[in-house]
Amino acid sequence: MAKVIHSMIRVLEENLSVNFYRSAFGLNVADRLDFDTFTLVYLRNAEADFELELTINKGREEPYSLGDGYGHIALCVDNLEAEHERLAAAGLNPRKIVEFNHEGGLFARFFFVGDPDGYQIEVLQRHGRYK
**DSSP string over 40-104:** EEEEE-TT-S-EEEEEEETT--SPPP-TTT---EEEEES-HHHHHHHHHHTT--PPPPEEEEETT
Range of the domain at 107: 71-131
**What is the tally of structural domains in the chain?**
2
Residue 59 contacts residue 71 (beta carbons within 8 Å): no
Among the listed residues 17, 15, 42, 46, the one whose alpha carbon sits nearest the alpha carbon of residue 30: 42
Q: CA-CA distance, 106 to 117, in Å (whole number)? A: 31
Judgement on whether residues 89 and 54 belong to the same structural domain of the protein: no
Judgement on whether residues 82 and 28 belong to the same structural domain of the protein: no
What's the pLDDT tens digit per position in 55-104? 999 999 999 999 888 899 999 999 999 999 999 999 999 999 999 999 99
Judgement on whether residues 82 and 34 belong to the same structural domain of the protein: no
Judgement on whether residues 12 and 42 belong to the same structural domain of the protein: yes
Residue 120 belongs to a domain:
yes
Judgement on whether residues 131 and 77 belong to the same structural domain of the protein: yes
Catalytic annotation on 53?
A: no
Judgement on whether residues 87 and 119 belong to the same structural domain of the protein: yes
Judgement on whether residues 77 and 111 belong to the same structural domain of the protein: yes
Judgement on whether residues 10 and 31 belong to the same structural domain of the protein: yes
- CATH label of the domain that carries residue 93: 3.10.180.10
Residue 65 belongs to a domain:
no
Residue 66 belongs to a domain:
no
From 47, 53, 62, 122, the catalytic residue: 122
Last residue of a domain, one of 12, 31, 59: 59
What's the pLDDT tens digit per position in 91-130? 999 999 999 999 999 999 999 999 999 999 999 999 998 8
Judgement on whether residues 107 and 130 belong to the same structural domain of the protein: yes
Which has the higher per-residue pLDDT, 129 or 32?
A: 32
Judgement on whether residues 83 and 49 belong to the same structural domain of the protein: no
Provide CB contacts within 8 A for 2, sequence distance 6+: none
Count Cβ atoms below 10 Å from residue 94 Cβ, excluding itself.
19
